[in-house]
Amino acid sequence: MIPAGSITVKDYAIESPLKKSMLTEGEDFYEVTIDFNTKSSIAAINFVLKDEDSGSWYQHRGRDFKVPLTEFVRDDDNVVGTKTGFGIWPGALGHLSNILLKSEGSDMQEENGNNEVKAEKLQNSCLEGFYEEHSVVKETLVDNSVTVSVRQCPETAKNIVSLETDLPGDVIVHWGVCKGEGRMWELPEKPYPSETALFKNKALRTLLKRHEGQSGSSGSFALDFDLTGFVFVLKLDENTWLNSMGKDFYVPLAGYSAANNQDSETRSGNVSQKDETITAYTDGIINEIRNLVNGISSQKTKTSKNIEVQESILQEIEKLAAEAYSIFRASVPSFTEDVVSDVRPPVKISSGTGSGFEILCQGFNWESHKSGRWYTELHERAAELSSLGFTVVWLPPPTDSVSPEGYMPRDLYNLNSRYGNIDELKSLVKKFHEVGIKVLGDVVLNHRCAQFKNQNGVWNIFGGRLNWDDRAVVADDPHFQGRGNKSSGDNFHAAPNIDHSQEFVRKDIKEWLCWLRDEIGYDGWRLDFVRGFWGGYVKDYLDASEPYFAVGEYWDSLSYTYGEMDHNQDAHRQRIVDWINATGGSASAFDVTTKGVLHAALERCEYWRLSDDKGKPPGVVGWWPSRAITFIENHDTGSTQGHWRFPGGKEMQGYAYILTHPGTPSVFYDHIVSDYRSEISALISLRNRNKIHCRSTIQIAKAERDVYAAIIDDKVAMKIGPGHYEPQTGAKWSLAIEGNNYRVWETS
């Protein structure tokens, strides 16, 4: 009964492609036909639609479509079709605007007429057929911006709020002002800008002035100094409103504190005590940075330069810079709730990026759970992994899970999983510590599987020690009827997405992470699917759990044009860097950009791709190497899943790249136990003895069609690709490692 081209989604669903109909003219029309066995016991079919381009899901009244095949199907709200008939139906989606359900009629008879009917009265009459149309709203992502700036005008004693946007068409600003500490909308004193009207005596509506000869519009608002904030939303048409993640945009007005300073001679130009505190603190940070820089300079003047001391100083500078940047961001008007609140004493910054010399091993694959004793098996390999030079191991998710691999967690405090029990996990972590390896726990914070149904039969009530209700589920996931706020990221549709804006959720997660650290001995975290929630929440969790090392999986598609990967992947790596920035630099991220560029370069023999327009590595490692975790394969991309497998036979070229370059390299378990083991071991040994680290300097010597070459820290030279390269003869280079289309030299 399964249509051609379909694939099985785990063990509970079928994914079938819609094909263009040959019966329609003048418009695109797609359908799928399912030929049912009339003797089967199927009473109904459930389905949802997915737009592959945008990843959007389409449902019926917030739930799956349900098409009855017999009249005794329960009369749920999401049933489509009248109770007058059924046969075979082709579902069709034309322009993603309507669904056509039609049938051709068939007879269905009860195979066993002696079956006893319980709970409901069954009718043996079959349905004759029906046709219905249902509208589907397609969401189209657009990239527009709204810029707001505030300046003080002492001559008029006004704050001038300027608003500019590139949104097309007429844009109306619904706005008001705030007085005192609250955020209640109030009407300001006149005069108002032109094209302004009163709206229900509660707000003002101002039509922004459109730019001549180009898209976009702008406007300005003169507000008194005694006002504390400017609040607004944007209206594009009768049905389209824009706000800030479900809340009004709020812009704090800087003149308020000065206007209320009774000792000031004028109404501007004075600094409050709070500002003085911030200034004194940031001045202290700047002085510390200057002293540390002087420390580096003095180290360089010595003949016996100590690279470890310099590395330690660089780390301290990076932490101080991150703290200073966070204070700067907190003093700039923004639309987020946290920024406009009172400035609090600075919190401790936990970098979560280790020493910079880490080499990470992913200690499992997609099949590791099947033995039921993976912790024990890995225990036996701990000393071997240490001898290979690994300093950090990433273990699989430890919690009770609906899926055996662990990525559908249920009871977070139950650590008896398919990989082993809690005692075996503790023993494994202890063993790794004994051989000098730090341990990362794989924590899934984006979603969680419920253990109970709500009154509507939807799984969104949780059990165990963290017995949350549906307030912990985001409101905009159509599958799980959450009562929380809207998601701060992308939804993962296979399980309830957790609402991290809820204080009780964040409190429980922080306590759980600290419990894992203290009870099991984890040294840090690998964070699953961090696209699903704001990076600021991650910072909160890391500040609480203080990991030695943390890395997030921020995964999305690279940039392509007509099916071919673009050379410029700045937009892709910028999204990863933005997430790292949102964490305050407290976590690293997997360098998906570098993996993608390596794919294209090696598959197509286009090694020129490995240098960006500025002559730097094209991935995150080229922009923020201390936060880039480079890799070529993991349990999702390789193993038995193979979602994005590295070009076959070229794996060692990939490892020759990441194990000689800055960033923190991660090696996949399957490759460690393969024929590549000795070559990987040699590259790790070379990296360690030359003290290559996450911030090492790199000079790209060649990036041509058939060869890429680079020099790292003036101590290591490497090349990948079939083309020729030899390092310059000025230095004493000796060939250290050679393999299939790769070579590595080091200074002698």
Which residues carry out catalysis?
528, 553
Structure tokens at 419: 């990989």
Short-list 44, 1, 48, 51, CA closest to 494: 48
Strand pairing category for 524-527 and 438-443: parallel
What three-state secondary structure class fits 561?
Answer: strand
Structure tokens at 699: 């000079």
The torsion angles phi and psi of 386, rounded to 5 degrees, stand at -65, -40
Neighbours of 577 (CB within 10 A): 19
Question: 520 with 425: CB under 8 angstroms?
Answer: yes
Question: 209 with 143: CB under 8 angstroms?
Answer: no
- Taking the C-alpha atoms of residue 723 and residue 710, their distance in angstroms, rounded to an integer, is 14
Short-list 718, 462, 496, 517, CA closest to 610: 718
The DSSP line for 102-168 is ---------S-TTPPP-SS----PBP----EEEE-PPP------EEEEEEEETTTTEEEEEEEE---
- For residue 629, how many C-alpha atoms fall within 13 Å in the half-sphere facing its CB? 29
Strands of 484-532, DSSP E: 524-527
Amino acid identity, position 413: Y
Question: 43 with 68: CB under 8 angstroms?
Answer: yes
CA of 189: how far to CAs of 192, 224, 393, 541, in Å? 8, 8, 63, 44
Question: 431 with 553: CB under 8 angstroms?
Answer: no
Residue that is written with structure tokens 């030299």 in the block: 745
Amino acid identity, position 269: G
Q: Dmax over Cα atoms in the chain, in whole Å?
A: 96
Report CA 732 to chain centroid distance, whole Å.
45
- Taking the C-alpha atoms of residue 366 and residue 230, their distance in angstroms, rounded to an integer, is 52
